[in-house]
Amino acid sequence: MIKKAAPFVLSLSILTGCAPAAPASAFLKKVAVSPTATTVQVPSDIHASIFALAKEITPAYFSESKKQNQIFSPLSLWTALGVLREGAAGETRTELDQLMKLSADFDSSKVIPDLSKSLNFMTASKLPKAKPDDSKYGVLLTNGIFFDQRFAKNIRSSFFETAASVWGTETAQVDFTKETETKSLIRQWVSDKTEQFIADYDATFATDGSAILNIYNVLFLKDLWLEPFQKLENQTFHAPTGDVSVPFMGRLAEGAHYVDHSKAQAVAFPGEQGIRVWFMLPKNELQPVDLVADLDGILAGGAPTYVNFKAPVLDLDGENLSLKDLLEAKGYTKMFHSADLSRMLDGVNAEVSEIKQKTKLQMDEKGFKAAAVTEIGILETSGPADPPVEFIADRPYLIVIEYQGLPLFIAQIKQPSEK
């Protein structure tokens, strides 16, 4: 549940925690946050790229989860992969282009800097409040590279420069063999980037001296509803496992942006800073995840309508789940077994050891708050790996990954009372 006094936030983030602050000397670069918002026109190829990634990965994420509710952030994954792409060459870069749905000639330096800056601001609310406070609202998009000091000489300076100038990446030097100290540093960074919303992140890396670097993405969004909802009494939610009584919010909304699509009813409500939250009710016995394939079409439609809106109050804690098996099952194997990271590293053989994402979401009558952490680990290998056994998943059950699922900001809500 969201406490009344707490501001509400939607966020996607890299790593943070509540460990002791790291020495200032550990960080070689920090990215400033703008005090004002700027808007840019998102290029059509990037728009199409992120929606295509969402359509491919989201259903597999959802099918893995042990929880009734799942949350996944395609933007966080896409951005972390974008940093990795700058260090990849040959077939590994081609594979990343395929996963990110980008053309081989995509030049990140022409579009990403302005887009990244527009997604990195926090400003004070101008809405009337019962009590003034120092809270700020907006979007924080930050990338981070934590690299082991033993491999500093192997990391190309051109990779660091591109990661910083194009993707707004912060960098820190660590010792991955010192597990407690390094996990504490990363946890604290994540916590700072998410305003302590994700304060318990558990980073993944090898401690035997083979870990070279970890790439992180943080997207943190925080906003108040432009027009607050009313807090309602508990109402019945028809969950797959049976009816439950949960707190609701709602209001009669005049001029709400409403879409009557063939597959769903959808309505969108804006936050003060321009962040919009869409609520979608499937039609014809479809499941929420079935709407992902038509997401861009649904979001492009609609008109102002008078809507009697009600929805559950949410407090969802997503899982910290691996994407590696999911991606390999879809045929993305080169980065994990025969990676070419020659644009990133010199004099060392390496591969991607892990890709993970952690999320969290809260929403009530005053606003919304969420976070996601995407982590990509790079590990030293003794030499070029043998080609993997080709495994083509051509039937649905073969792509189901055991026990786990990854969250998405397109959330499938089946049991609102579940944490």
Which of 312, 345, 378 delimits the end of a domain? 312
- Residue 52 clears pLDDT 70, i.e. is over it: yes
Question: According to the model, what pLDDT value does residue 376 have?
Answer: 95
Residues 276 and 327 in one domain: no
Residue 17 lies in a domain: no
Task: Kindly report which listed range (25-39, 151-165, 299-313, 355-369) carries the lowest average pLDDT score.
Answer: 25-39
Q: Average the pLDDT over 265-291 and give the result.
A: 87
Residue 332 and residue 308 share a domain: no
| Same domain for 150 and 105 | yes
Q: Which phi and psi angles does 268 have, rounded to 5°?
A: -120, 140
Domain span at residue 272 reads: 230-312
Percent pLDDT > 90 in the chain is: 43
Q: Quote the mean pLDDT of the chain.
A: 82
Same domain, 80 and 210: yes
Domain membership flag for residue 12: no
16 pLDDT above the threshold of 50: no
Name the residue type at position 93: R
With respect to residue 6, please indicate whether it lies within any of the assigned structural domains: no
Q: Identify whether residues 211 and 94 lie together within a single domain.
A: yes
At 42 the pLDDT is 86
**The whole model's pTM is what?**
0.84
Question: Last residue of some domain: 312, 342, 365?
Answer: 312
Across 87-101, 106-120, 371-385, least confident range: 371-385
pLDDT over threshold 80, residue 234: yes
In the numeric block, the tokens 């909304």 are attached to: 253
Evaluate if residue 125 carries a pLDDT over 50: yes
- Region 246-250 average pLDDT: 89
Most confident of 69-78, 129-138, 332-341, 389-398: 332-341
Both structure tokens of 339? 């990676």
| 19 located within any domain | no
Residue 276 has pLDDT above 50, yes or no: yes
pLDDT tens across 193-225, in order? 999 999 999 999 999 999 999 999 988 888 889
How far, CA to CA in Å, does 393 sit from each of 21, 52, 55, 328? 45, 19, 17, 10
pLDDT greater than 90 at residue 164: yes
- pLDDT over 70 for what percent of the chain? 83
Taken in order 330, 147, 370, 81, is the CA torsion positive or negative?
negative
Q: Are residues 320 and 290 in the same domain?
A: no
Average pLDDT over residues 132-152: 90
Q: Are residues 56 and 201 in the same domain?
A: yes
In CATH, what number is assigned to the domain containing residue 126? 3.30.497.10
Quick one: pLDDT at residue 398? Answer: 22
CATH of residue 264's domain is: 2.30.39.10
pLDDT-derived band at 411 (thresholds 50, 70, 90) equals low
What is the average pLDDT across 276-303? 88
pLDDT at 26 over 80: no
Buried b or exposed e, range 307-323, using 16+ CB within 10 angstroms: beeebbbbbbbbbbbbb
Q: Are 265 and 256 in contact (CB under 8 A)?
A: no
Residue 406 maps to a domain? no
Same domain, 214 and 184: yes
Residues 6+ apart with CB under 8 A from 129: none
Query: Do residues 35 and 153 share a domain?
Result: yes
Residue 7 lies in a domain: no
* Same domain for 54 and 125: yes
What is the torsion angle, in degrees rounded to the nearest 10, for the CA atoms of residue 301, residue 294, residue 77 and residue 288? Answer: 100
Verify that 29 and 176 share a domain, yes or no.
Answer: yes
Give the chain's length: 419
Q: Which residues pair with 143 in a beta bridge?
A: 169, 217
What is the number of domains present in the chain? 2
pLDDT of residue 412: 60
Predicted local confidence at residue 275, as pLDDT: 84
Pair 366, 225: CB distance under 8 Å: yes
Say if residue 128 is in the same domain as residue 200.
Answer: yes
Domain membership flag for residue 195:
yes
Enumerate the β-bridge partners of residue 375: 216, 356
Which of 276, 294, 312 lies at the terminal end of a domain, its last residue? 312
Is residue 412 one of the residues assigned to a domain?
no
Whether pLDDT at 312 is above 70: yes
Q: pLDDT band at residue 4, thresholds of 50, 70 and 90?
A: very low
